[in-house]
Amino acid sequence: MKFDDKIPIYYQIKQYIYREIIIEELKPGQQIPAIRQLAVSLTVNVNTIQRALSELIDEGVLVTQRGKGNFVTTNTRTLVKLKNDVVEAQVRELYDQLSALNISPDEMLLYLKTYINSRKEVHHD
Amino acid sequence: MTEILSINNLSYKRNLTSILKQVNCSAESGSIIGLLGANGAGKTTLMRLISGAAKGFHGEISINGNTQDIERKQLVSFSHQLDGVNSHDRMEKIAEFYQAVYPDFSESAFKRLAEFLELDLHQRLGNLSKGNRMKFIIAITLSRQVQLYLLDEPFDGIDSMSRKKIIASILQWKPVDATILISDHHVDDVANILDAVLIIKDKKMVVSEKADKIREEYGQSIEDYYESIYTGGKEND
Amino acid sequence: MTSSIKLMRTMIRQKSSSVHKVIGLQLLALVITLIIQLWQQGHLDALDPAGFFASYGMLATMVLFVLLALRTEHIWTNSVFRLIPITDTRLYISNLLSTFLNFVYFLILETIITGLLGSLDLADFNMPNTSHLFGYVTSGLALIFTLLLVGWTFISMVHLLGKMISTFLPETKQGFIQLVLYIVVFFLLFFVLSTIDNTIGNYVNNFFSPVYSMGTLYQIIGPIFILSGFMLLWVILFSLINIYLLKYWTEAK
C-alpha cells in the first residue's frame, strides 16, 4: 500500500480498513490479521497499526476477543453507520469542491446525473 | 511510555575539531526513531558514543538510567560495519563467534533472520555484495536480544530489493519493547516506519519530534519537513 | 556480561592459527633444507632433522612474537571485540593471556616436534650440575616468559599512547607526530634490548662455558629470578597504563 506521507499513517490505515469492510473484503465477524503481520504487509510500524486499531476498537468497528485477536463487528447499525460516514465524507468533499466553483445544488445534481449516464454508456459498450 | 535513551548536554571533540555540541535528546521505549542528517552531520559519531565505541565525551548518555560504558554495552546492539572481521571468514563462522562472546546473541533469532533475508551463510564476508553484506550486518545486530538497537545507515548504497527486505525484517523481528534508532540521509527510505525523528544539523540536535505531529500539525511530509530544516532558517554557522 | 573464560577460549582458538602457520612454515623450511642436503650429499645418514628444525626455531619464535603482537593490537581498536559486554580490564587480561598461552602452546609443539624428529641428545651439552637442572630450566623459562610479556605490553603501550596522543592533534599533523613517537620508541627499545641482551648473553655463556667451575655457576639462578621479577613489575606497570588508556581513551573502529 502506498501512503501519502503528508497525512498521518494511522489515519490512512483506518481509512484502508473502513474500505475493506465496506467492500466486504473484510466481512462482519471476520478476524483481522495479527498486528505484526499487518505491519509487515503494509510496511509500517507496529505502533502505528496499534494506534489505528485501538481507535477502530473505540469506534466499535472492531471488537477485541481476549486472547483471540480483533474481529470486524457484527453490529449492523455500526456497519451501516460506517458506510454512511465514509460515503458522506466523499460526497461532502465533492460538494465542497463543486460549490467552490459556484455551482448550485440543482446544477450539481444535473452534472452528476449526466456523468453517471455517460459512465453507464461506456460500460455498455 | 518510558524513556529508554536520554542524552544530556553531550559534547564531543576529536582532533581539535568539535563533532557534537550540546546534544540533548531522548527516545521512548518500543519506538522506531529516525536519526536524520546530512553526511558528516554527526550521526555515526552519536551512535558510536551511545554504543561505547567512542570515548572521551562531555555530558551524559543514559540507557534505562545506566550511564557506565559497560552497562551500555550490555543494553545496546550497534550495527558497526564489521571492519575488524577477517574478510575470508564465512558468515556462519562470524555468527558462531558472536554466539560465543555475546551472551545476549540468540542463535535461533539469527537463523530466522538469515533465512528471512535469504543469506547463504557459507559465503565469505569479503565476497558479499554491498546489499548482502548489509543484510548480514542487520541480521547479526538484531540477533542480540537487547533493549536498544542502533542501525547506522542501513540503506546506504544498496539496491531497493535489499532495502525492502531489511525494512521488512526490522518490522517482523523487532521485539515489542525494544527501541530502534535508524540513521539515514534519505528520509524517503524510512519515513513510513518512524514513530519519531531526530534531526542533526551542524553538530547539534535541532529537532526531536513525533512523526505524526509533523504530519498533523505542520501538514508536511517528513521529507519536506527535513528539507525545510536543512535549507531554512535555523543556521548555526 | 560475557565470561572471561569464554572470551579467552575464543581468543586462544583464533590466535592459534598463527602458531600453526609458523610451525607449518618451519616444517616446510626443514623439508626444503633436507632435500637440498640430500641432493648435495647423496645420502641420509649424516642428516640431523631435529638440529635443522631447532636451528629455524629462533626465527620462528621471532616471527610468531610479531604475529601474535599484531593480533593482540588489532583487538584494542576492533569494534567486534570492544563492544563485547565485558570490562576493559577483563578484555585486556583475556587478550594478553591468550597471546601468552599461544606462545606456551608453540613452545610445547616445538619441543614435541624436535623430540619426534630425533631426540635432543642432552649429553652433548655440558650440563653444569644436574642437581640444579630444575633451577636452570625454571629460571630460564621465567626470564623468557617475562621478557615476552614485557615485549607485548610495551608494544600495546606505545600503540595505545600513540592513539591517545593523536586524538589531541589536528588531523593533518598526525603522520609527523607519530613518526617522532616511533623514532623515540625505537631508540628507547634499542637501549632496553641491548641491556637485556648483555644480561642474557652472560647467562647463556655461563651456562655453556666449561671455563666456569661447576660449583659456582648455579649462583646465576638467583639473579635470573630477580631479573624476571623486575620484568614482571614492568609488565604490571605497563598493563595498568594500558588498561587506563583502553578504558578512557581507546576508541573502537
10-residue stretch averages of pLDDT, chain C, 253 residues long: 92 96 93 85 71 86 95 95 95 97 95 78 52 80 92 92 86 78 80 73 61 59 85 93 95 89
Place of cell 631447532: C54
Q: In this structure, are C112 and C162 located in the same domain?
A: no
List the domain range (segments joined by +) for residue B207.
3-231
- How far, in Å, CA of C41 to CA of C31, rounded? 15
- Whether B63 has a pLDDT exceeding 70, the answer reads yes
Longest dimension (CA), chain B: 52
Domain boundary among C109, C124, C139: C124
Which is nearest to C101 in space by CA: C38, C18, C31, C34?
Answer: C18
Q: Are the CB atoms for B165 and B201 separated by under 8 Å?
A: no
Final residue in a domain of this structure, among C124, C150, C170 = C124
Strands B148-151 and B76-78, by their bridges, are: parallel
Say if residue C91 is in the same domain as residue C157. Answer: no
CATH of the domain at B72: 3.40.50.300
Query: C137 with C249, same domain?
Result: yes
- Cα separation of A11 and C177, whole Å? 60
Strands B32-36, A69-72: pairing kind: unpaired
**Amino acid in the structure at residue C17:** S
Q: C178: part of which helix (H) or strand (E)?
A: helix C174-208
Q: What three-state secondary structure class fits A53?
A: helix
The span from the CA of B107 to the CA of B112, in Å, is 9
Which are the contacts of C43, defined by CB distance < 8 A and separation ≥ 6?
A: none
pLDDT one-digit tens code per residue, B162-189: 899 999 999 998 988 999 999 998 888 8
Q: How far apart are CA C21 and CA B223, in angstroms?
A: 54
Kindly state whether residue B236 falls inside one of the protein's structural domains: no
Flag if C6 and B97 touch (Cβ within 8 Å).
no
* Partners of A115 in the β-ladder: none
Of C73, C102, C124, the last residue of a domain is C124
Q: What phi and psi, each to the nearest 5 degrees, are found at residue B196?
A: -150, 160
C22 shares its domain with C65: yes
CA dihedral for B199, B205, B210, B212, sign (positive or negative) = negative
Does residue C136 share a domain with residue C104? no
Structure ipTM: 0.91
CATH 1.10.10.10 is held by the domain A9-74: yes
Alpha-carbon gap: A43 to the closest alpha carbon of chain B (Å): 7
Instruction: Check A45 against B176: CB less than 8 A apart.
Output: no
Inter-chain touch C2–B82, beta carbons under 8 Å: no
Query: How far apart are alpha carbons B217 and B18 in whole angstroms?
Result: 34
Q: Does one domain contain both C139 and C249?
A: yes
Whether C7 maps to a domain, the answer reads: no
Say if residues C25 and C59 touch (Cβ distance below 8 Å).
Answer: no
Q: Does a structural domain hold residue B237?
A: no
- What is the C-alpha to C-alpha distance for residues B62 and B72, in angstroms, rounded to an integer? 8
* Region label for C80, one of left (φ > 0), alpha (ψ between -120 and 50) or beta (otherwise): alpha
C176 shares a domain with C64: no
Same domain (yes/no): C168, C242: yes
User: How many domains is chain C built from?
Assistant: 2
Q: For residue C240, which of C153, C182, C181 has the smallest C-alpha distance?
A: C153
Strand B179-184 versus strand B32-36 pairing type: parallel
On whether both C89 and C167 belong to a single domain, the answer is: no
> Which amino acid is residue B229, in one-letter code?
I
What pLDDT sits at residue C181?
Answer: 78
Q: Choosing among B165, B190, B193, which should be mutated to test the A contact, i.e. which has the most A CBs within 10 A? A: B193
The domain ranges of chain A are 9-74, 87-124
Same domain, C116 and C183: no
Quote the domain boundaries for residue C145: 125-253
Contact C14, C101 (CB under 8 A): no
SS3 C70: helix
CB-CB under 8 Å, A48 with B195: yes
Low-confidence ranges of chain A (pLDDT < 70): 123-125
Nearest-angstrom CA–CA distance, B4 and C28: 58
Would you say residue C97 lies in a domain?
yes
Average per-residue pLDDT for chain B: 91
The H or E element containing residue A65 is: strand A62-65
Query: Mutate which of C3, C18, C82, C166 to test chain B, going by most B C-beta atoms within 10 A?
Result: C82
What's residue B235's pLDDT?
45
What are the strands, taking DSSP E only, across chain B?
3-14, 17-28, 32-36, 58-63, 76-78, 148-151, 179-184, 196-201, 204-210
Instruction: Give the model confidence (pLDDT) of B14-36 as tens digits.
Output: 888 899 999 999 999 999 999 99
Q: Is residue C249 part of a domain?
A: yes
**Cα pseudo-dihedral A46, A47, A50, A51, rounded to 10:** -150
For residue C80, give the nearest of B15, B16, B82 by CB distance: B82
- Closest-CA residue of chain C to B95: C80
DSSP tag of C122: G
- Are C30 and C116 in the same domain? yes
CA dist., res. B109 & res. A66, Å (int): 28
Using a threshold of 3 CB pairs under 8 A, tell whether chains B and C touch: yes
Considering the domain architecture, whether residues C25 and C116 belong to the same structural domain is answered as yes
CA C225 to chain centroid, in Å, comes to 18
